[in-house]
A and B are shown apart, each in its own frame.
Chain A
Amino acid sequence: MVSVENLVVKYGERIAVSKVAFEVRDREIFGVLGPNGGGKSTLFRVLATMLAPAAGSARVAGFDVERQPQEVRRRIGVVFQSQSLDRKLTVEENLRSQGRLYGLSGPLLAARIEEVLEKFGLADRRSERIESLSGGLRRRVEIAKSLLHRPAVLLMDEPSTGLDPGARRDLWTYIEELRAAQGITVLLTTHILDEAERCDRLALMHRGALVACGAPAELKARIRGDVVVLTTADGESLRQRIESRMGVRAIPVNGALRVEIANGHRFITEVVEAFPGVIESVALHKPTLEDVFLNETGSGLGGA
């Protein structure tokens, strides 16, 4: 449904996306995970036909974004990170304008509007102006709007931005229902781990490059064993001592030390006994996507 090959995107001289390649299968929910500034939004813009690649190619729903942008536009629904509604117009007026820009009119448009109003629980809000709606409701209108023309592929840039946890859960319910009911393929960008966990497959992006691609479970399985995080007053000296005395690699992350190791519980006992009084706290967890990211890039999702 989406296929990206050796994609390079530049803003002037600066390379924003460098040689990225991946495939999104039919009916898949595909996530692009990475920190802000990692190149996800740039990639999104290329797929939404807003930005031309400097090299390589991207195909969406069977058409090339650069050579056949009109064909692509007819087949994609686009949900932007920022609001794209007309605040002075009502919910229904916004939907009607959108539908007409996609060539829908008359009874067909009216039926589609009813359908999305119903599906997104907006029927009783239809005559309210966008400026009077809450962030969560606006988001629902944005998504409803992007589905009027029944796109084959739904592109969403950071869809949970500004949503509270309840609204985020609802959003995912909609996404999954859509796939079940309409067989839609979804590509979304995110920097939120929970959201990434719910995708079928993920592409991890860092500094414009694709660092890993696969199902969340598959990616996490790349880390064998457990992750232990230690905090201490002098991280650098502890790191050197752990590495020299125990032969284990410890990576400083956000002022703490991070160790990937099999049988983490045994390592904890050893390390606490080896350096009595030095360690302030110890935590053990099963690998998360954040760990995968740290492993592949040496930095977290918090910053580039």
Chain B
Amino acid sequence: MHFWLAVGTLWRRDLVRFWREKARVLGYVGSPLVFWLLIGSGFGDLAFFFPGALVLTVMFSAAFSTMSLIEDRREGFLLSMLVSPAPRSSMVLGKILGSSTLAWIQGVVFLCFLPATGYWPGAAGILGAAAVIFLIAFTFTVLGFAIAWQMDSTQGFHAVMNLVLLPLWLVSGALFPIASAHGWVQWLMRLNPVTYTVAALRQSLERGAAAGVPPLSTSVLVTAAFAILLFAASTMFARRTSAGSFA
């Protein structure tokens, strides 16, 4: 009971804060939208780039919304959380659910542009895609959380996240299909967990029709496994924390 009360409180807090900083909403949805329109139009294939651009929106907004953890530490709010009797795992889950919900909302907003690609997977397909988007949001929030927990400056966090996220996205099948990649890059793509993330979304939007892309079930499984692995790591970091890191 106390566990879920704490989870709900932190979740709600992130939502309220986000709503009060509307510039953030615009930034995270706006820039991938521009990316999608420019790259997609340049190649003359808006449909192919749609899933990749959506994943980009969700992964960046998910990862960067965990930056609030660094702000919480700097502003001292984290301190009052840590001396409260709320279980540590409820804090981790509350923060992660809050950030993933925000990223999910932005992903769903992006999904509204789907008709421009000419695809229409039906209502069930949209629901499926929304579920996959939540999984993606959760996964990258956890990744962001695991990194934010170790960092004490938002600038450093930006640098590290760009270094990690952008290359992962570039070789994920978002820009070019696995089949057309050369030599070692193709191997890199097969090993990249984000490849499965993009594939999961592509398959759910194209109703499993995409050729040369890992099937939906494999993609969802790999993404979920990745999320669980990262979640275990984050909880471990949160437990191990001593006061030295928030001096």
A and B together in one complex: yes
Classify the interface of chain B: helix, strand, loop or mixed: helix
Say yes or no: A51 contacts B243, CB within 8 Å: yes
Q: Give the Cβ gap from B113 to chain A, nearest Cβ, in Å.
A: 30
Chain A residue nearest to B242 (CB atoms) is: A51
Chain A residue nearest to B6 (CB atoms) is: A101
Say yes or no: A101 contacts B243, CB within 8 Å: no
Q: Give the Cβ gap from A229 to chain B, nearest Cβ, in Å.
A: 37
Please, what's the 1-or-0 string for A132-167, where 1 marks a CB less than 8 Å from any CB in chain B? 000000000000010000000000000000000000
Say yes or no: B13 contacts A97, CB within 8 Å: yes
Say yes or no: A85 contacts B84, CB within 8 Å: no
A residues 81-116 touching B (CB-CB < 8 Å): 82-89, 93, 96-98, 100-103, 105
Binds A, one of B15-23, B144-152, B216-224: B15-23
Q: Does B76 contact A (CB under 8 A)?
A: yes
Say yes or no: B76 contacts A89, CB within 8 Å: no
Say yes or no: B13 contacts A49, CB within 8 Å: no
Say yes or no: A84 contacts B20, CB within 8 Å: no
Instruction: State A189–B76 Cα separation when bound (angstroms).
Output: 18
B9 CB contacts on chain A under 8 angstroms:
96-97, 100-101
Chain B residue nearest to A97 (CB atoms) is: B9
Instruction: State A51–B242 Cα separation when bound (angstroms).
Output: 6
Instruction: State A50–B20 Cα separation when bound (angstroms).
Output: 31
Q: Does B77 contact A (CB under 8 A)?
A: yes
B20 CB contacts on chain A under 8 angstroms:
88
B17 CB contacts on chain A under 8 angstroms:
86, 88-89
* Residue with the highest number of chain A CB atoms closer than 10 Å, among B72, B77, B85: B85
Say yes or no: A101 contacts B86, CB within 8 Å: yes
A97 CB contacts on chain B under 8 angstroms:
9-10, 13
B80 CB contacts on chain A under 8 angstroms:
78, 80, 84, 98, 101, 145
A residues 54-99 touching B (CB-CB < 8 Å): 70, 73-74, 76, 78, 80, 82-89, 93, 96-98
Q: Does A48 contact B (CB under 8 A)?
A: yes
Say yes or no: A84 contacts B5, CB within 8 Å: no
Please, what's the 1-or-0 string for B214-247, where 1 marks a CB less than 8 Å from any CB in chain A? 0000000000000000000000000000111010
Say yes or no: B76 contacts A73, CB within 8 Å: no
B243 CB contacts on chain A under 8 angstroms:
45, 50-51
A101-B9, A103-B5 given; A88·B21 CB < 8 A = yes
Q: Does B8 contact A (CB under 8 A)?
A: yes
Chain B residue nearest to A129 (CB atoms) is: B20
Q: Does B82 contact A (CB under 8 A)?
A: yes
B47 CB contacts on chain A under 8 angstroms:
none
* Residue with the highest number of chain A CB atoms closer than 10 Å, among B2, B242, B243: B243
B75 CB contacts on chain A under 8 angstroms:
83-87
Chain B residue nearest to A72 (CB atoms) is: B85
Q: Does B79 contact A (CB under 8 A)?
A: yes
Q: Give the Cβ gap from A277 to chain B, nearest Cβ, in Å.
A: 52
Q: Give the Cβ gap from B74 to chain A, nearest Cβ, in Å.
A: 9
Contact of A93 among B16, B72, B79, B246 (CB under 8 A): B16
Q: Does A52 contact B (CB under 8 A)?
A: yes
Q: Give the Cβ gap from A66 to chain B, nearest Cβ, in Å.
A: 12
Q: Give the Cβ gap from A75 to chain B, nearest Cβ, in Å.
A: 9
Binding site for A on B (CB under 8 A): 1-2, 5-6, 8-10, 13, 16-17, 20-21, 72, 75-77, 79-86, 242-244, 246
What are the nearest 7 A-B pairs in CB distance? Answer: A84-B76, A101-B84, A51-B243, A50-B243, A73-B85, A100-B9, A84-B80
A-B contacts, 27 listed (Cβ < 8 Å): A48-B83, A50-B82, A50-B83, A50-B242, A51-B242, A51-B243, A52-B242, A74-B85, A76-B83, A80-B79, A83-B75, A84-B76, A84-B79, A86-B13, A86-B75, A88-B20, A88-B21, A89-B13, A100-B5, A100-B8, A101-B6, A101-B81, A101-B85, A102-B84, A102-B86, A103-B1, A103-B85
Other 14 A-B pairs with CB < 8 A, given A51-B242, A78-B80, A101-B85 = A50-B242, A80-B80, A83-B75, A84-B77, A86-B17, A86-B72, A89-B13, A89-B16, A96-B9, A97-B9, A98-B80, A100-B9, A102-B84, A103-B1
